[in-house]
Structure 1
Amino acid sequence: LLKGAGTLIAAQQQHWVLTNGNPGMASPGMGDLLSGTIISLVAQGLSNDEATMYGASLHSAAADLAAQQNGERGMMASDLLPFIRQLVNR
């Protein structure tokens, strides 16, 4: 997993580029939240590759929802938590 504008996920013979997300994600704690999201999916039985793909997608989708509601400037990792919960429970 390589975070950035166009997050790159590489797994064995496959790779994906996530184009969602926004500049507000360049703030302290975002990587910690991403790591926690991924490892929680592994703990629920997903493979490392699946958890990385789904976790990164969930993280960036939640950030986009947070930006839509509150704007990108001043975004904090904790702002994503309600949106992660909302997305997981869909």
Structure 2
Amino acid sequence: AVLKGSGTVIAAPDGRVAVNPTGNAGLASGGTGDVLGGLIGALLAQHLPPFEAALAGVYLHGLAADTLVAQGDGPAGLTAGELAPMVRRLLNRRFYSRNRTAT
């Protein structure tokens, strides 16, 4: 279960609970929860276990908003449509960066 809000809470049926450290007030706009749901769904479709998909999705969602705000694109006026492209950039930087060495 994901309770979206300030300090989004992620909980599993087995009792595991986490509070996400990323995100800001820009995520309190229409459609951002839909983006979050789609992101978690995409991670589930890639065979991540449900709790881990929720953790990663919530973290990336919040990190995208934090990055946009750091670049001056919010929090006021941040739109849901800006989040997915930023998540893509963050994932590409982390996993496909030219500076990353092969393991």
The normalised TM-score by structure 1 is 0.94
Report the counterpart of residue 4 of structure 2 in structure 1.
3
Report the counterpart of residue 33 of structure 2 in structure 1.
31
CA-atom RMSD in angstroms: 0.9
1:30-51: CA deviation from partner (whole Å, max 9, x where unpaired)? 0000000000000001011111
Which of 1 and 2 has greater Rg?
2
Asked whether 1:86 is paired with 2:89, we answer: yes
Deviation at 1:65, TM superposition (A): 0.5
Instruction: Check whether the contact 2:21–2:59 (CA below 8 A) recurs between aligned residues.
Output: no
Deviation at 1:71, TM superposition (A): 2.3
Deviation at 1:60, TM superposition (A): 0.4
The normalised TM-score by structure 2 is 0.83
Deviation at 1:6, TM superposition (A): 0.7
Deviation at 1:67, TM superposition (A): 1.1
Bigger share in helix: 1
Instruction: Check whether the contact 2:40–2:54 (CA below 8 A) recurs between aligned residues.
Output: yes
- Listed as ranges, the matches of 1:1-90 within 5 Å are 1-11=2-12, 12-69=14-71, 70-89=73-92, 90=94
Report the counterpart of residue 99 of structure 2 in structure 1.
none
Aligned-residue identity in percent: 47
Unaligned runs of 5+ in 1: none
Unaligned runs of 5+ in 2: 95-103
Task: Compare 15-24 and 32-41 and name the one that shifted more.
Answer: 15-24
Runs of 4 or more off by more than 4 Å in structure 1? none
